[in-house]
């Protein structure tokens, strides 16, 4: 369902986020509550209520795109959230590692290695 | 087939590159011939003879990862090569645009827009 | 006025964009029409219908933040749009140049110089 | 006063740095003393003795530019120093958060969120 | 000796890595063993078995290039490995600091300072 | 000679810049004259009057560091200036290409290729 109001967008965003990583959705709202409560509305509303909610690309493909971009950007906390999300939407651990090995070509070995070590921490539950 | 020698790696790399974008393979060898001929060996050998040659991840997924990382890095010439490659391995134009719209979340709107304009040029054959 | 529906957001976004750079608003819709029409909705809706529409920070401060970030990112087309927008919301040419000279400290001289040359093109109307 | 000698530049730099964040000025000199004492001369001399010392742009505007660029670059230790400096030159906590929410548009949500979490630590005095 | 097979490349890579930082070579193999054992083959094989193994540029020059690029990229763990390697191939501590002070010009002061603090930790053996 | 006044710094900067790339020094002053004349003072004064003027690291090593960082940053106009400067301080064309081939390891192949193509243009005098 495509949202009509911004309130619907938030509810749809929460539902979509729950499908890929429910705990992360809860955590981001909690962590922003005291400092930037409106930011939680945007983080849940725009990415998950609008973009991830679109048809035209499966969630597996969306998560491949996301972890690749986050590897390039080097933002490890968000990369770890989306490594977990990648597992939740059906990517195997082996596929995630393949993606990061491929990233050595485009982003260089240091960024690829840091992504692999982030994956190691997620897979080990730390 | 996994290469054993570096010469085999180059041949396998040429074959793999031909599958995703034969013209680009030819172009990179030509453009490097006068300035850095060994670099052509590495560009074809390591990415396409070793990494893309691995099992464990389909070419469609590999190209999604590549165009997402290149959008984040902002290296437009290589992004255009891999937008063409993405079409060749079965991504639709609509899926490619979906990926770049999603990149607005992670890389910001400017990088996402520049990727969309690169896609426009590729789709229009310019 | 805070938007309630996504349609209102788009209309408010168009109005806000008209205040800072009306031509750019028109151009982005035109350039995306044939390739990614939904992206025009997001580009106008989220940044200008939601973020720039918030109270709590004047437009002058918002444009200082934007051109500084775009200088760091090195995305010249969007930087030029927002140099024009900075002039429109009341920054002087001298202030814009001051900002980019300061950027030499944080982003290095190459990015600062490229931003100054972008400003030169905007100021000369090219 | 515009410095004439490099020694004057250093003294003026110390004074300017004291106005925006005196503790940070002291800390950077201490931390560089054993490893790169000349670097302390440059860090205080060029940015604060020359650039911040120029007329033509108020300190509030200068700090908005700085924290926006540092958000884009993702260098958290320096970002925290300048979040403190932003408070010292008169930006409110709410305005700083507004700036980082706006950064989601240009730098993407991950960099914006990391800046907000850095602000949270500064505001809480940790 | 130029490798002919990929197995030779790995052995040559191990030898070259031992010359510049033997402990790091051992560590990377260990850290990747459980998560991405093939990546260790690439990390040792391509950079150290092929590129560093080429004639035409001395190891001192290669390490200057590497620590400068890693300073620009901001990937601290790999920067620390190559600061150690720089010492091992004959760069003095003073030369390494000179390089990072120069990086303030091109990458900005924050990245330069973070590299200097990384060097401080390496020099102090932490 | 170490400068004492900012005026001396500028004169020393001009002399140092003339040693590595006299035409570039003239060009940067000309190009900034109408838009940011003070910036020319900083560009010549701080990098070339202070940093490059320091002892402790030879010009060859300084240029290796510079072109490596500029390859990582992807700022092509400045990279081309410093490829010319590298030739002027004694690096051979082959060494410059070696450096950029090595950059494929750390910055990824796209940035390395773009640097090699920039070198091609400089070497061919275009």
How would residue D14 be classed by pLDDT, with cut points 50, 70 and 90? very high
Q: Go through chain F and tell me how many residues it has.
A: 126
Query: Does residue F64 share a domain with residue F21?
Result: no
pLDDT score at A24? 84
* pLDDT per position as a tens digit, A78-104: 999 999 999 999 999 999 999 999 999
Cα separation, F81 vs F48, in Å, equals 14
Tokens read off for C118: 């972008």
How would residue A28 be classed by pLDDT, with cut points 50, 70 and 90? confident
Indicate yes or no: CB of E109 within 8 angstroms of CB of C106.
Answer: yes
CA–CA–CA angle F15, F24, C81 (5° rounding)? 130
Picking from D105, D106, D109, the nearest residue to B106 by CB comes out as: D109
Identify all chain E residues contacting C106, using CB atoms and an 8 Å cutoff: 108-110
Q: Is some CB atom of chain A closer than 8 A to the CB atom of F106?
A: yes
pLDDT score at F98? 98
Identify all chain F residues contacting E66, using CB atoms and an 8 Å cutoff: 68, 102, 105-106
Using only the alpha carbons of chain A, give its radius of gyration: 15
Which residue of E lies nearest to D43 if distances are taken between CA atoms? Answer: E109
CA atoms within 13 A on the CB side of E94: 6
Query: Does residue C62 share a domain with residue C124?
Result: yes
Question: Which parts of chain F sit beneath pLDDT 70?
Answer: 126
Cα separation, D124 vs D107, in Å, equals 25
Q: What CATH number is given to the structural domain containing B77?
A: 1.20.1290.10
Query: Does residue F119 share a domain with residue F80?
Result: yes
Mapping DSSP to helix (H, G, I), strand (E, B) and coil, where does residue B5 land?
strand
Nearest to C55 by CA among A5, E29, A28, A38: A38
* pLDDT per position as a tens digit, C64-78: 999 999 999 999 999
Indicate yes or no: CB of C68 within 8 angstroms of CB of D69.
Answer: yes
Q: Could you say which of E37, E55, E73 is where a domain stops?
A: E55
Identify all chain A residues contacting B107, using CB atoms and an 8 Å cutoff: 69, 73
How far, in Å, are B10, D82, F32, F40 from residue C73 at the CA level?
A: 36, 19, 22, 23
Picking from F54, F57, F68, the nearest residue to E65 by CB comes out as: F68
* pLDDT per position as a tens digit, F51-78: 999 989 999 999 999 999 999 999 999 9
Q: Is the pLDDT of residue D126 over 80?
A: no
Query: Does residue F67 share a domain with residue F48?
Result: no
Query: Does residue E38 share a domain with residue E14?
Result: yes
Identify all chain D residues contacting E112, using CB atoms and an 8 Å cutoff: 39
Sign of CA dihedral E108, D81, C46, B100: positive
Q: What is the mean pLDDT of chain E?
A: 95
- Cβ atoms of D83 and D67 within 8 Å: the answer is yes
Torsion of CA B8, A110, D107, B62, to 10 degrees: 30
Q: Is the pLDDT of residue E24 over 90?
A: no
Query: Does residue C80 share a domain with residue C18?
Result: no
Percent of chain B with pLDDT over 70: 99
Mapping DSSP to helix (H, G, I), strand (E, B) and coil, where does residue C5 land?
strand
Q: Is the pLDDT of residue B1 over 90?
A: no
How far, in Å, are C62, D64, D94 from residue D90 at the CA level?
A: 16, 11, 11
Indicate yes or no: CB of B99 within 8 angstroms of CB of A70.
Answer: no
Mean pLDDT to the nearest integer, B58-62: 97
Q: Is the pLDDT of residue C103 over 90?
A: yes
Cα separation, D50 vs B111, in Å, equals 33
pLDDT score at E32? 96
Q: Is the pLDDT of residue E28 over 90?
A: no
Q: Is the pLDDT of residue A126 over 80?
A: no
Query: Does residue E41 share a domain with residue E78?
Result: no
Q: Which chains touch E (3 or more CB pairs under 8 A)?
A: A, B, C, D, F
Q: Could you say which of B34, B55, B76 is where a domain stops?
A: B55
Sign of CA dihedral B56, B58, B63, B68: negative
Q: Is the pLDDT of residue E126 over 80?
A: no
Query: Does residue D40 share a domain with residue D82?
Result: no
Indicate yes or no: CB of D106 within 8 angstroms of CB of B106.
Answer: no
How far, in Å, are A44, C110, F36 from residue F14 at the CA level?
A: 54, 18, 18
Nearest to D40 by CA among D27, D53, D29, D52: D29
Name the minimum distance, in Å, from the CA of A32 to any CA of chain C.
17
Q: Is some CB atom of chain E closer than 8 A to the CB atom of F64?
A: yes
Q: Is some CB atom of chain A closer than 8 A to the CB atom of F73?
A: no
C90: DSSP letter:
T
What total number of domains does chain E contain?
A: 2
Query: Does residue B37 share a domain with residue B83?
Result: no
CA–CA–CA angle D12, D13, D19 (5° rounding)? 95
pLDDT score at C24? 84
Question: In this structure, which long-range contacts are made by residues F11-14, counting pairs with CB atoms below 8 Å and at least 24 apart in sequence?
Answer: F11/F49, F12/F48, F12/F49, F12/F53, F13/F44, F13/F45, F13/F46, F13/F47, F13/F48, F13/F49, F13/F50, F13/F53, F14/F44, F14/F48
Identify all chain E residues contacting B3, using CB atoms and an 8 Å cutoff: 6
Picking from D31, D42, D77, the nearest residue to E104 by CB comes out as: D42
Task: Tell me, letter by letter, the H, E, C secondary structure of B47-71.
Answer: HHHHHCCCCCCCHHHHHHHHHHHHH
User: Each residue of C75-88: b (16+ CB within 10 Å) or e?
Assistant: bbebbbbbbbbbbb
- Cβ atoms of C111 and C118 within 8 Å: the answer is no
Range of the domain at E22: 1-55
Query: Does residue D37 share a domain with residue D75?
Result: no
pLDDT score at C60? 97
Question: Out of A8-17, A22-31, C86-95, D82-91, which region has the weakest mean confidence (pLDDT)?
Answer: A22-31
Q: Is the pLDDT of residue C126 over 90?
A: no
Q: Is the pLDDT of residue B126 over 80?
A: no
Picking from E4, E51, E54, the nearest residue to B6 by CB comes out as: E4
Q: What is the mean pLDDT of chain B?
A: 95
Mean pLDDT to the nearest integer, C36-60: 96
Q: Where are the beta strands (DSSP E) in chain F?
A: none
* pLDDT per position as a tens digit, E36-90: 999 999 999 999 999 999 989 999 999 999 999 999 999 999 999 999 999 999 9
* pLDDT per position as a tens digit, B83-112: 999 999 999 999 999 999 999 999 999 999
Query: Does residue E122 share a domain with residue E63?
Result: yes
Indicate yes or no: CB of E110 within 8 angstroms of CB of D31.
Answer: no
Indicate yes or no: CB of B4 within 8 angstroms of CB of E6.
Answer: yes
Query: Does residue B80 share a domain with residue B121?
Result: yes
Mean pLDDT to the nearest integer, D58-78: 98
How would residue B28 be classed by pLDDT, with cut points 50, 70 and 90? confident
Identify all chain B residues contacting F112, using CB atoms and an 8 Å cutoff: 39
Q: Is the pLDDT of residue A109 over 80?
A: yes
Percent of chain E with pLDDT over 90: 87
pLDDT score at C76? 97
Find the largest Cα–Cα distance for chain B: 44
Q: Where are the beta strands (DSSP E) in D11-122?
A: none
Identify all chain B residues contacting D106, using CB atoms and an 8 Å cutoff: 108-110
Mean pLDDT to the nearest integer, C23-48: 93
Nearest to D72 by CA among C42, E105, B76, C107: C107
pLDDT score at A43? 96
Tokens read off for C116: 């100054």
Name the minimum distance, in Å, from the CA of B74 to any CA of chain D.
13
Q: Go through chain C and tell me how many residues it has.
A: 126
CA–CA–CA angle F64, F65, F67 (5° rounding)? 65
* pLDDT per position as a tens digit, D27-56: 988 999 999 999 999 999 999 999 999 989
């Amino acid at each position: 369902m495509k949202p009509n109001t911004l309130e619907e967008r938030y509810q749809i965003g929460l539902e979509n986020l729950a499908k890929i990583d429910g705990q992360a959705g809860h955590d981001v709202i909690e962590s922003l509550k005291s400092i930037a409560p409106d930011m939680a509305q945007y983080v849940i509303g725009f990415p998950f209520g609008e973009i991830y909610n679109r048809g035209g690309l499966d969630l597996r493909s969306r998560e491949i795109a996301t972890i690749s971009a986050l590897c390039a950007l080097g933002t490890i906390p968000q990369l770890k959230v989306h490594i977990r999300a990648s597992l939740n939407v059906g990517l195997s651990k082996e596929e995630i590692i393949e993606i990061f090995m491929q990233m050595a070509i485009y982003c260089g070995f240091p960024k690829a290695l840091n992504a692999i070590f982030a994956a190691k921490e997620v897979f080990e539950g730390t």
